[in-house]
A and B are shown apart, each in its own frame.
Chain A
Amino acid sequence: MTEPHIIFDRALLARRRARAAAALNAGGFGADFLLREVAADFADRLAMIKRDFPIALDLGTHTGAVADTLAAAANIGAVIRADLCPDLVTGAPRPALACDEERLPFAPGALNLVTSALSLQWVNDLPGALAQIARGLAPDGLFLAALFGTETLRELRAALTLAETQLHGGASPRVAPFIELRDMGSLLQRAGLALPVADKDLIKVAYPTMFELLRDLRAMGATNVLVERARRPVTRRFFARAAEIYAERFARADGRIEATFEIVTATGWKPHESQQKPLAPGSARARLADALGTTEISTGEKAAPKTRRD
Chain B
Amino acid sequence: MGDNMTGKKGLGRVDAKLLELLVCPVTKTRLVYDEAAQELVSEAARLAYPIRDGIPIMLPEEARQLPD
Task: Report yes or no: A90 in contact with B53, Cβ–Cβ below 8 A.
Answer: yes
Report B-chain residues with C-beta under 8 Å of the C-beta of A99: 25, 58-59
The reply to whether B56 and A79 contact each other, CB–CB distance below 8 Å, is no
Using a Cβ–Cβ cut-off of 8 Å, how many residues does chain B contribute to the interface with A? Answer: 30
Q: Within A66-119, which residues are at the interface with B (CB < 8 Å)?
A: 71, 77-80, 84, 86, 89-90, 93-100, 103-107, 110-111
Contact: A94 with B22, CB < 8 Å? no
Contact A94 B4 (CB under 8 A): yes
- Find out whether the CB atom of A98 lies under 8 angstroms from the CB atom of B58: yes
Q: Which residue of A lies closest to B60 (CB)?
A: A103
Q: Is B1 at the interface (CB under 8 A from chain A)?
A: yes
- Whether A55 is near chain B, meaning CB under 8 Å from some CB there, is yes
| Given A96-B55, A98-B57, A55 contacting B23 (CB threshold 8 A) | no
- Confirm or deny: B44 has a beta carbon within 8 angstroms of a beta carbon on chain A: no
In angstroms, Cα B7 to Cα A11, docked, is 28
Q: When the two chains form their complex, are residues A105 and B58 in contact, meaning their CB atoms are under 8 A apart? A: yes
CB distance from B44 to the nearest CB of A (A): 13
| Chain B contact residues, CB within 8 Å of chain A | 1, 4-11, 15, 17-18, 20-26, 52-62
Residues of chain A touching chain B, judged by Cβ–Cβ distance below 8 Å, are 11, 54-55, 71, 77-80, 84, 86, 89-90, 93-100, 103-107, 110-111
The 9 lowest CB-CB distance pairs between A and B, nearest first, are: A78-B5, A93-B7, A103-B25, A105-B58, A105-B25, A110-B21, A95-B15, A95-B18, A99-B58
